[in-house]
């Protein structure tokens, strides 16, 4: 059974996922990276050229593809992947879902340095956008989660240890 990492942008899904996969001897899959490889295009450019809806369809297609493989892996999702209804049952079927939780102010602090590569945060006031999106998404993250890990003030190593204790 795979381990699926969900959480808002800036919660550390990719960094934690890589380290966790290494510790567990599993492969690491980043769904954003899969989309970029398949499209041969950066996510920011996909948003710009084709729009968010096209990107969301690509996310669902990637998840469906993962369902066809039996390999156990640590899978890091994009921050918005759990929101789409069609993705929820697929994510559940893929494995145990771990929500990397942090509050809005922690996420805002972590996101301050890099909104360039994150089209969902472009334009307007960062704090306002994070609070609004998080407000829309948090219930979804919680509903899907088998395990919730508070990542605030924790190092990647500590987060991995906590996850490994829980699973
Ligand atoms: C998105 C999060 C991004 C990426 C895309 C959309 C979102 O992934 O999938 O820019 O809607 O929250 P990260 O959470 O890895 O930044």
Task: Read off the CATH number of the domain in which 81 is found.
Answer: 3.40.50.300
Task: Flag whether 167 is in a domain.
Answer: no
Q: Whose CA is nearest to atom 16 of ligand 1?
A: 9
Question: Band of the pLDDT at 70, cuts 50, 70, 90?
Answer: confident
With respect to residue 59, please indicate whether it lies within any of the assigned structural domains.
yes
Average pLDDT, the chain: 95
Residue 9 Cβ inside 6 Å of ligand 1? The answer reads yes
126-144 and 85-94 are packed helices; what angle lies between their axes, rounded to 10 degrees?
50
Domains: count for the chain? 1
**Cβ of 17 less than 6 Å from ligand 1:** no
Residue 87 confidence (pLDDT) above 70 = yes
122 lines ligand 1 (CB under 6 A): no
Q: What is the mean pLDDT of residues 76-94?
A: 97
**Structural domain span for residue 123:** 2-162
Q: pLDDT digit string (tens) for 109-151?
A: 999 987 668 999 987 899 999 999 999 999 999 999 999 999 9
């Amino acid at each position: 059974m795979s381990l699926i990492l969900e959480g808002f942008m800036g919660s550390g899904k990719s960094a934690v996922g890589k380290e966790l996969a290494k510790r567990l001897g599993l492969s690491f899959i980043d769904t954003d990276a899969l989309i970029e490889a398949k499209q041969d295009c950066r996510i920011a450019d996909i948003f710009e050229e084709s729009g968010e809806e096209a990107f969301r369809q690509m996310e669902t297609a990637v998840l469906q593809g993962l369902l066809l493989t039996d390999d156990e892996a640590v899978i890091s999702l994009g921050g918005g992947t759990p929101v789409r209804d069609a993705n929820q049952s697929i994510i559940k079927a893929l494995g145990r879902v771990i929500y990397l939780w942090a509050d809005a102010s922690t996420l805002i602090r972590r996101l301050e340095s890099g909104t360039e590569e994150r089209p969902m945060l472009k334009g307007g006031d960062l704090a306002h956008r994070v609070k609004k999106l998080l407000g829309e998404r948090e219930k979804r993250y919680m509903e899907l989660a088998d395990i919730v890990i508070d990542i605030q003030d924790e190092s990647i190593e500590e987060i991995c240890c906590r996850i490994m204790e829980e699973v």
